[in-house]
A = this chain, B = another copy of it.
């Protein structure tokens, strides 16, 4: 097994050279990790609008501009050190909404006019919660977070209509809620504070069974705890899946857990 380098730039190079091909959990803690979606030109325009209209569920960190090496926000990744087609450890290739292949790069799939989107994830605020003595249950139990499809719809954009919010759920004691809201609120570029909480919140979101998440693992809620719901990065993925049959040409995402390590640090995405 290769030693993990000290800086994101070097780690991305390892991925680009296909020397690191596994997940990125625990890699270079403190640096922001990003989700990926790459879309053909026409749908990219709609997706950019979807993110613009729904920043809590679809927190866009940056998108490529013109070529696969240039980002709209160079604070996220330093210029000249990046190839969106190869710097993730592993890619999922979709055709018409279905997963067809997993690959170590997507150079062959990247077409003219393609745009890649880097989307924030909840790792950043999970670390902040842990540091404040309020570690998420899924972190403590080394499980995947519990995720639910809701009845709350994104504000539509172009072809993206009737796309539901997906939420992640972490249980907390009622008296800790203000602190939990305050800590995660600062992470405005990656979902920010919870979008709802409590059993009445679950009802508002149309979640019927808190023990049957659509994605991730089931998490126990103790008697003195309530469920707390954050918008989740699966939302934009599901949105693209929902309209997949309308998209001509391959769509590319990262393989779950195999994320991009960015140059920006957790604390710098609090704006």
Contact = CB atoms under 8 A, between A and B. Distances in A.
Interface in A188-243: 188, 192-196, 204, 231
A185 B195 CA distance: 25
B53 A192 contact: yes
Interface in A42-87: 49, 52-56
A270 B55 CA distance: 18
A253 to B, nearest CB: 24
Interface stretch (A14-22, A113-121, A122-130, A151-159): A151-159
Given A156-B196, A195-B156, A196-B156, A185 B55 contact: no
Interface in A141-156: 152-153, 155-156
A56 B56 contact: no
A46 to B, nearest CB: 9
A52 B185 CA distance: 12
Interface in A93-150: none
Given A53-B55, A152-B152, A153-B204, 9 more contacts: A49-B192, A52-B188, A53-B188, A54-B56, A55-B55, A153-B196, A157-B185, A157-B193, A158-B185
* 3 cross-chain pairs, A with B, having the tightest CB-CB distances, nearest first: A56-B155, A155-B195, A53-B56
